[in-house]
Amino acid sequence: MSTIALITGGNRGLGRATALALATAGVDVIITYRTNASEAAEVVDEVKQLGRVAVALHLDTREVETFDAFADALGTTLRDTWNRDTFDHLVNNAGVGLAGMVADTTVEVFDELFGVHVRGVFFLTQKLLPLIADNGRIVNFSTGLTRFVNNGPWAAYGAAKGAVEVFTRYLAQEVAPRGITANVIAPGPIGTGFGGGALQNEQVSEHLGGQTAMGRIGRPEEIGGLVATLLTGNTGWVTAQRIEASGGMLL
């Protein structure tokens, strides 16, 4: 029987890298996308080229009221594609990178960040728990910015991710009787288009890379590979943990 992972926001950035790393490791994937169906279709094609099965489903994690319909669509997809009623691993990756100093952050920006990263993650996980197979694994995404501040305009974003970390510990306690683990991966600076693509700027990249022990920013495939290791390796004894992948930033 195939192993199946669901990755939210899997059409680009870390979600795409995670989908490809899991496919390389022999896992079938379901990715979700909010916009840009063509990007999602490209990821599905890439996964298929790696010899695995892939499906893309639309999902806006800000819209909690749509989660019932999404769960129904997911159940239909599982039955039609894999002849299963469950999937194995949930990766809550979908996110939005909105910056702002405390003095400048608006209520709208704050609500958007907490809506996607906290409210959406909490209630989507709640809705999908009955569909996750026993002994499955859940990975939530946080950020290195919950540990270091670095004089950046990320107060609300970091606070939202801090909430994700606390939620994950409570979640790990609740799902443990089913053999399910729940962990957080906290990336440092990674060269993706997240947050407006600032880390794709050479000067910004060099500056932040100089603050890491490794002397560079990370690559998306390094985070995807870590997720794949956590989901497919002999890591069932690891749960309720925050695993930072920042290249040793600001040690």
Average pLDDT over residues 13-21: 98
d(CA 217, CA 153): 19
d(CA 81, CA 79): 6
Q: pLDDT at position 199, please?
A: 64
The token duo for 92 is 């809550």
Q: What H or E segment, with its residue span, contains residue 120?
A: none
Q: pLDDT at position 191, please?
A: 87
Average pLDDT over residues 117-125: 98
pLDDT of 11 above 70: yes
| Range list of H helices, 147-192 | 155-175
Burial class (CB within 10 angstroms; exposed 0-12, middle 13-18, buried 19+) of 149? exposed
Q: pLDDT at position 197, please?
A: 62
d(CA 76, CA 99): 38
Q: What H or E segment, with its residue span, contains residue 78?
A: helix 67-82
d(CA 47, CA 145): 31
pLDDT of 245 above 90: yes
Average pLDDT over residues 121-133: 98
Average pLDDT over residues 81-99: 97
Q: pLDDT at position 239, please?
A: 98
Q: Predicted confidence band at 126 (pLDDT cuts at 50, 70, 90)? A: very high
Burial class (CB within 10 angstroms; exposed 0-12, middle 13-18, buried 19+) of 85? exposed
Q: What H or E segment, with its residue span, contains residue 234?
A: none
Q: pLDDT at position 195, please?
A: 61
pLDDT of 68 above 80: yes
Q: Predicted confidence band at 182 (pLDDT cuts at 50, 70, 90)? A: very high
More confident residue, 151 or 68: 68
Average pLDDT over residues 226-230: 98
Q: What H or E segment, with its residue span, contains residue 46?
A: helix 37-49
Q: pLDDT at position 61, please?
A: 97
Return mean pLDDT, the chain.
95
Q: pLDDT at position 193, please?
A: 75
Domains of the chain: 4-245 (3.40.50.720)
Amino acid at 210: G
Q: pLDDT at position 201, please?
A: 78
d(CA 121, CA 61): 7
Q: What is the pLDDT of residues 183-224, one digit of tens each?
A: 999 999 998 876 666 667 788 889 899 999 999 999 999 999
